[in-house]
Amino acid sequence: TNNIFILAIESSCDETSASVIADGKVLNNIVATQSVHEKYGGVVPELASRAHQENIIPVVQEAILSAGITKDQLSAVAFTRGPGLLGSLLVGVSFAKSFAFSLGIPLIEVNHMQAHILAHFIDDPKPNFPFICLTVSGGHTQLVLVKSHLDMQVIGETRDDAVGEAFDKTAKLLGLPYPGGPLIDKHAKDGNPKAFAFPITRMPELDYSFSGIKTAVLYFLRDQLQENPKFIEENLADLCASIQYSLIEMLLIKLKKAVKETRVSEIAIAGGVSANSGLRESLTTLAAQIGWNLYIPKFEYCTDNAAMIAMAAHYKYLKGEFSTLDVAPLAKMKL
């Protein structure tokens, strides 16, 4: 057969992942999650790159094997060029270059943020162009106007922390292990979102700021713990619900503003924080009320994964957008 098989590699943060896509259809998505970071309360870059070194060959082998092909059938090798941790990116970039070079096939660089958005094209239903995508993860918070598969414009973004970072850092203040986002989500289900009022920072235009809430929670807890050393354990659910409420409010205020300004009501969310059940519920309710068409990818394609890199690579392959062997990773990379 003359199928186009593309191998894609993702190594921007703490997941080593590989995926094979055949003519635009994702065949698999192998992810090795690194657990070494848990005890440090956050990703340790040096440990992340070492773990990528250990994981990359087995992960790639598994992706090729489970696609039912051999490496000689590959048409191109794709990789995440950035943004991300430089040492982590380097492992994926170096591997992809050597592999493509040894097989004599093209190399395709992918922007990680663009790929998060293109995750919406892995399965049906797919959003119609133009659509607005709210990309929310541990490293990014962006509002993007998506005009076509490869034409995207950032219309708003965080000026400091990402929203996932705010989830994780406030969770740490509550004594929860890393990553704390999913735990805040879990405890919030039993709490009252109006129990405590944490700040809702209002930035100009369509931009975000998530660093204020961390400081507010820090001082609030310090004061309360002086009065009652058991304050956190006695109020954990209410604290989580109230923090989550403020974070979601901030996300939705700007999303609503973006919809008003662009008059686009095809709405998608992407990134690890789109797994948050409070965000999903609020968005679903809002969408039904206002008449938005809402798209939420499968959880496996929300967090960092190579299937989304493969999807992006598919569109770049069709346009003949290839990289040369001197390509270098970028810690910061614009859409």
Binding-site residues for Fe cation sit at 112, 116, 304
Largest CA distance in the chain: 72
Question: Under a CB-based contact definition with an 8 Å cutoff, are residues 143 and 206 in contact?
Answer: yes
Smallest separation, CB 184 to ligand KG4 (Å): 6
Check residue 271 for interaction with ligand KG4 (CB under 6 A): yes
Residue 116 or 314: which CB sits closer to ligand KG4?
Answer: 116
d(CA 302, CA 270): 6
* Interaction pattern, residues 169-208, with ligand KG4; x per rule: CB under 6 A: ----------x-xx--x-----------------------
Q: Which residues are annotated as a binding site for substrate?
A: 135-139, 168, 181, 185, 276
Residue 109 or 165: which CB sits closer to ligand KG4?
Answer: 165
The type of residue at 198 is F
Residue 74 or 137: which CB sits closer to ligand KG4?
Answer: 137
Smallest separation, CB 11 to ligand KG4 (Å): 12
Q: Which stretch binds ligand KG4 (CB under 6 A): 22-30, 92-100, 251-259, 267-275?
A: 267-275
Check residue 83 for interaction with ligand KG4 (CB under 6 A): no
* Interaction pattern, residues 289-308, with Zn ion; x per rule: CB under 5 A: ---------------x----
Sign of the C-alpha dihedral computed for residues 43, 44, 47 and 49 taken in this order: positive
Question: Closest by alpha carbon to 322, among 97, 146, 13?
Answer: 97
Residue from 11, 16, 111, 137 that binds Zn ion (CB under 5 A)? 137
Residue from 87, 92, 164, 329 that binds ligand KG4 (CB under 6 A)? 164
Question: Under a CB-based contact definition with an 8 Å cutoff, are residues 37 and 321 in contact?
Answer: no
Q: Which residues bind ligand KG4 (CB under 6 A)?
A: 13, 137-139, 164, 167-168, 179, 181-182, 185, 271-273, 275-276, 303-304
Q: Which residues bind Zn ion (CB under 5 A)?
A: 137, 304
